[in-house]
Amino acid sequence: MTSAASILNIAAYRFVALTDLPNWRDNIRAQAEACALKGTVLVAGEGINLCLAGPDANVRGWLGWLRAHEPFAALEVKESRSVEVPFGKLRVKVKPEIIRMNHAAIQPQAGRAPSVDAKTLARWLAQGCDDADRPLAMLDTRNAFEADAGRFRGAIDWRIERFSEFPDALLAHRTELVGKTVVSYCTGGIRCEKAALYMANAGVANVLQLEGGILKYFEQTGGEHFDGECFVFDARATLDATLAPSP
């Protein structure tokens, strides 16, 4: 990317118990408007999910304000850059879930799913198994059209059209996962975290989420063992392994 790519894009989520959601919504919107940011922020009783973009100092200033509040102090972000802001407007909404699964028993805010970091996963993929010599099952938890843009080599893709279909897909295909270390993955981590918790709750053994999703994997490994590009829900459409928008 050239130095003209002065817009900072951040993607982040955090499962944390929140109350007084309208107040969070209004304060987050006011601060984002003051910083001239565009994108989407969702808040729910289970946490926050966001994709925002703007000038570097503005984004970092807003992020500093958000992290000054205890529920979001540990918020981790994935960063990428673009020449233009890839969002048309700012949206800040209260939702029942920050990523909809429709299974109230799955509550990530009460405890995270076990995870594997990007560099360890890349090593496992290179050696063909995890450190316990179990074969890997890379499980794509995204929508089918996202997987079509790019996926981990040999990944399982159940061709779901929306994430709320994942639980039924698991029940129909769970025998594919027996005897393997299952690594659920998605764009930035939010869907694969809920998916991992659901699988563990359903009795699937040896389940991990990919920490930070594909975006963090690209950042830390350069995208080895991943074929294609990562679909993102903004005007950039897809990002390559350097986190640059496709031409």
Give the active site residues.
186
119-to-14, 37, 171, 222 alpha-carbon distances in Å: 22, 32, 30, 10
- Cα Rg, the chain, nearest whole Å: 18
**Buried b / exposed e across 5-40, counting CB within 10 Å, b at 16+?**
eebbbbbbbbbbebeeeeebbeebbeebeebebbbb
Is-contact 184 139, C-beta < 8 A?
yes
Closest Cα partner for 18 from 75, 82, 59? 75
Q: How many CB atoms lie within 10 A of CB 180?
A: 20
Is-contact 9 52, C-beta < 8 A?
yes
- ∠ CA 61-62-67, nearest 5°, is 100
Is-contact 140 210, C-beta < 8 A?
no
Angle of the 118-127 helix axis to the 213-221 helix axis, nearest 10: 80
Closest Cα partner for 13 from 53, 56, 55, 42? 42
Q: What CA–CA distance (Å, rounded) separates 143 from 37?
A: 27
